[in-house]
Structure 1
């Protein structure tokens, strides 16, 4: 499956953006600028926006996971530092014990009066007092150092615990936000498909639903019909669903996925009945036609001119279809039965499919 281009994301800002997306009421999507009733165009617009929101949520979730992994590495390093500090404190405590034992052996534990009685001369008394002073200083320094290390250890342990808690909270929030958007999108997708099925059953299209078009890359003359996909049935493959052989290339995508024209041209057919369900045929320079079938909605009218990469509809599973996908054909006439293999045709125009 092809992946969206990733851009650097700031996780805190993204969390706020996602929260705003989740806070938007479902009914707010019904204020689109469709040419027909507000319900139909509003639902298509809602699906399109939720589709983009879900893609953004996925990007944000992946960026959050990447940041979480970096934070996990930092937390692990902090744990290693804590282990070293604990070992250092154990060494300090051992040193204190050795100093205390040495002081006792050297007479540092005797009272001053006893040292004066046992000393043979003033010089020996002074040496003893100097030794006691040095031992006391060493003990005091060791105790101070140990206390500082223990305080630092306690602070670092609290910092490590806070880091792990923040990590868990961030992952939970990102997962919940992503799941919420995807649930709303899934519900809206099947509502859109229900409308498409009704149109196919009636043999009458609802008309174009006008959606906000994404920015297009004017430097490219040809693009793939969907941005992200998995390939399913290929051209020429056999199966019980087709009278002869499969006449196009199927792109497995969820209902409501924006479908774009692979190149500039003119819409010569919009139909909502028959085995292809809701379908569009576009004429291009050079005598070729592209066919987009099993759609859930269309965003163009017959006779309209379209630019490369322009959204012309939303994928679905209308007509003779066993699951959500886009059926894409390249033809030498606008009618069925003149299809050629679309994969090498696109590849020769700088659009590798795979």
Structure 2
């Protein structure tokens, strides 16, 4: 395929190209008539609320982990300080016992003084030693109290952290359940619609003497012919070998942005579910981070698409591709080319549609730009 380079002069004309219809169902044909469509919409709204709850819990978990880290560092420092104080106390006690530490030894030191001045000096030293001992004991008690407080706070934060983990897990389960139900309803509605379409086509063909065919054929997403995996150049080294390479990168570079997350208008049935990047046909599309290819194929309005699963539990989607460069189950590295940009699916022109999802299913997406910023990627 001929590669077309991106220049600033063409940025405006490319930016207007976008996803024509990517709604809750991911298709341009709707979820079904009447109450079925309303029910699907309700399920997607509930899934969206669960996604928000998941993100709130995730951020709380992240804050809790940071706080536990600080508390554990404080515990370790206080434990080391307490050990040092105890060592100093032991050494001080041994010194007092060997020298003027009280009892018979202390009395002998006073009696053996050669002058009243020397005796008073020894008394003063003994008193200072007593003050030092009392001060050390106070510091030990304070250190023990601080250590106990730190440990109690760590236990409290860890308990709260477990609760946030449970809430995050429950939110993920709700998302998956709602989206699974919505997609089952959509599949049933689509099957019924196609059956009705075929019956209508057969009836019309019979009336026309067998020579009639509906213009354009049966409805469905256009995926293009670039569905085969093609070699896209040399693969980068494994993540552990890539010294100095950032862990997370842009999906395309340069990355001129067009339609954003949650945009609405005439091009979408509902709201836009990802971030579009205004690139021409044939631009390299890169994995934003190390991961595994969870899905590759042609489906719904996204056309040719790749979905990656990352170690942090999130999924990233790369849609409207012209060519695939990876296979399902393949491990990829951050920055590795996984395909080439294109215009497959329901689009008005070439671009990359990029999503970050809580689950691999459409409907669990979050705003990709803040997520990328959290991972050190500025756009």
Q: Could you tell me the TM-score, scaled by structure 1's length?
A: 0.47
- Between 1 and 2, higher relative CO (CA 8 Å, sep ≥ 6) is seen in 2
Bigger CA radius of gyration = 1
